[in-house]
Amino acid sequence: MKATLMVRAEVDPSKKQAFDRWYEEEHLSDALKAFGAERAERGWDMTDPNVHVALYHFSDETAAQQRVSASLPALVAEFDRHWDGYVKRTRTFVTQSQEIVAD
């Protein structure tokens, strides 16, 4: 089954613009490469403008868990170097149980 790593970040409003720029210019592509994911995407919550969500998509659950666990410590250290104290984040894996494509 396909799997997705979802990272949810609550960003201090005073750091939102800098965080957005850093994520766009550096972190999303660095994490995509480090994780060996098929693709990555990110965006801001429409109801809480200080919540950022990043999604990293994998072909299967095993690949997702193995690749992320191998590369996560270095990415967390880099993230914390920039945002410790300004961003609270959570991570979770989601396995795809169904997909429907519109006609």
Residue 56's pLDDT is: 98
pLDDT class for 5, splitting at 50, 70, 90?
very high
pLDDT for the residue 17? 98
Is residue 21 in a domain? yes
pTM (2 decimals)? 0.94
- Asked, for residue 71, whether it belongs to a domain, the answer is yes
In a domain? residue 100: no
Task: Indicate the number of domains in the chain.
Answer: 1
Residue 63: its pLDDT value, please?
A: 92
For residue 80, what pLDDT is reported?
A: 97
Residue 103 lies in a domain: no
Compute the distance between CA of residue 75 and CA of residue 98 in angstroms, rounded to an integer: 30
Nearest CA to 37 among 14, 20, 21, 61? 61
Domain assignment present for residue 65? The answer is yes
pLDDT tens column, 16-55: 999 999 999 999 999 999 999 999 999 999 999 999 999 9
| DSSP H or E segment with residue 41 | strand 39-44
Quick: pLDDT tens for 44-98.
999 999 999 999 999 999 999 999 999 999 999 999 999 999 999 999 999 999 9
Domain of residue 43 covers 3-95
Query: End-to-end alpha-carbon separation of the chain, Å?
Result: 23
102 inside domain = no
Note the pLDDT of residue 53: 98
Q: Is 101 among the domain residues?
A: no
Question: Domain containing 74 — which CATH number?
Answer: 3.30.70.100
Q: What does the pLDDT read at residue 90? A: 97
